[in-house]
Chain A
Amino acid sequence: MRCDWVHGYWVHWQWVRCEKGFGMSVNAWIVVGDQPAIGNLITVARSLGGDGTIAAVVAGPRAVAETVAASGVDRVVWCGTPDGSPAEASAPAVAEAVAADPPRVVLGGRNPGDRVLLGAAAAALHAAVLTGARSVTVGADTVTVVNAVYGDISDETVEISGPVALLLDGGSVPAASGAGVPIEEVTATPYGVKVLETIPSEFEEVDLNAAQRVIGVGRGLKAKEDLSLIEALAAALKAEIACSRPVAEGLNWMGKDRYIGSSGARISPQLYLAVGISGQLQHMVGVTGAETIVAINSDPNAAVFAQTDYGLVGDLYELVAEITSVLK
């Protein structure tokens, strides 16, 4: 079976059946916060094989637990919704549920809330924590993970005896598969954290993974108004606009879901066009899966040119306008 669940890499799965009667009844736990974006986690949990179950513990609203219950997992535990509290407040209930039925593997997505729940579960289990898994193989006594490290410059094969917590791309909301399993409700004293106010983002949400062509804007762009130049190119290319981290965090020209890289989105489009981006490791790791990479940068020594198919050394203002007019 082949399956491409992380970083756009093709991964060969080795199916290793656990021997009958081995160890624990639960194979994998999935921790879920206030969004059921766990499609990828279910795929990974399924690929582990074994005789155990896939259980999910949900610290978000009941509706999230219902979506998860219909997603094909074997068991769902719901922590209830302590009044006005964020998912993080239910970390004790999540840790208790997982520790009560200790797994070989715990999986969580990269949302801030999910990370907190995974950390709580990992601490309760005294588990190892890995965040760059490309593949996971469950053996009789050990779990073997090929783990990308240091901005994905190296892959380490790590053999773990004992429980392991994996932080992975959560993926999309899974489609309902059948009637679903009953929801077990658990209680534990939540932490004293209350939401006083929720402020919606001024930016429209985007799914960069759905785009065939993506333009990445970097600090080479001098002003927010100049984004209109990029928008014109995006329209001509039928591309989505993304950016480097400082453009979204710091300059605040775009929403955080638009930045690409080790801490942002990892995408594999047909075309990635980096405009005014220097090409630092932490950014480029997000586009290693792109079919074709083009860079426009005024600095001939910019690191980005070592990582592209086509490079244009020059002023982005001039070149972007020219490319737009050729396409029209």
Chain B
Amino acid sequence: MKIVVAYKWTSDPEEATVGADGVVNWSRARPGISTYDPVAIEVARGLAAATSAELIGVTVGAKGVGTPLAAKAALSRGLDRAVIVEDDSLKGAGQAELAAVVAAVVRRIGDVDLVITGDSSVDVAAKMVPTVLAGELGWPAVAEVTDVTGQPGALRVGRAVPGGAQVLEISGPAVLATSADATTPHVPGMKDLLAAGKKPVEHVDLAALDVPASSAVMTITGRARPARKERKHQLLDTSDPAEAAAELVKALREVGAL
């Protein structure tokens, strides 16, 4: 049995800067495993252990996503092996394109029973790669998954829905997007890092994959820094909290916020 975890290697826009022309500068941002993907790996690891499944990490992206350091960071979280597509033509690729490439990797691995993903990627936070991926594979997708038990083929999936939670039973292969708080991922130790260095990593050429052509061509024709409301940036003196409170209330009344 095989379980695939799709993870993204990317940077946090909190560490990026934006020029007046809207161009995003990532040079100070340090890439890593996308914030919520360790949650997905941890959930998948638990299920793989319970079902004696093989756990395969998959990531696709531009040059850099498959460096030994990046691969080790993912493998040290408990993957058995990794399959990586690293190609600069994927720089700036949209969610649909990325999902189509991940789907092609899943097909190539073969006999995959389940794909587990994170909730949203730290850079684009689209929450769409897992759903398009499922569409590409012809499998059901379920998002906001909080826990997974049972066997592939008869999975019990807990998930959050607006207004509550549900328990689902899924009888075939599926794509599950874990909720951000499904579990608390462990921090890999020295032993995990050493073991990760010995695990197999397969680099697959994008050209060798069967990726269906997109019907849509996207061209970026402009960029702009979004206009933000001007803020007053007024710091009130809080050395006397009661006075500060009175001053704030007065200011809020003046601007009509109260």
Contact = CB atoms under 8 A, between A and B. Distances in A.
B135 A288 contact: no
Contacts of B213: 126
Interface in A171-214: 191-201, 205, 213
A129 B23 CA distance: 21
B110 interface: no
Interface of B: 13-14, 16, 18, 22-24, 94-96, 99-100, 119-120, 123-128, 130-136, 138-144, 156, 159-172, 174, 179-181, 212-226, 228-229, 231-236, 238, 241-242, 244-246, 248-249, 251-252, 255-258
Contact of A131 (B127, B139, B212): B127
Interface string A131-161: 1000000000000100011111111111111
A311 B144 contact: no
A39 to B, nearest CB: 16
Nearest to A94: B135
Given A122-B128, A160-B216, 10 more contacts: A35-B162, A86-B142, A89-B140, A123-B96, A127-B214, A150-B16, A159-B221, A162-B216, A293-B231, A312-B238
Among B125, B126, B156, B257, max chain A CB count under 10 A is at B257
Interface residues of A, number: 99
28 contacts: A110-B127, A112-B143, A112-B160, A116-B140, A120-B131, A128-B94, A151-B125, A154-B22, A154-B23, A158-B218, A158-B221, A159-B218, A159-B221, A193-B169, A193-B170, A194-B171, A198-B166, A199-B164, A199-B166, A205-B163, A250-B180, A270-B257, A282-B125, A289-B229, A290-B229, A308-B233, A309-B233, A325-B242
B132 to A, nearest CB: 4
Contacts of B224: 154-155, 157
Contacts of B219: 158-160
A81 B13 CA distance: 41
A111 B222 contact: no
B24 A154 contact: yes
Contact of A310 (B100, B126, B251): B251
A123 B99 contact: yes
Contact of B127 (A151, A205, A263, A325): A263
Nearest to B234: A310
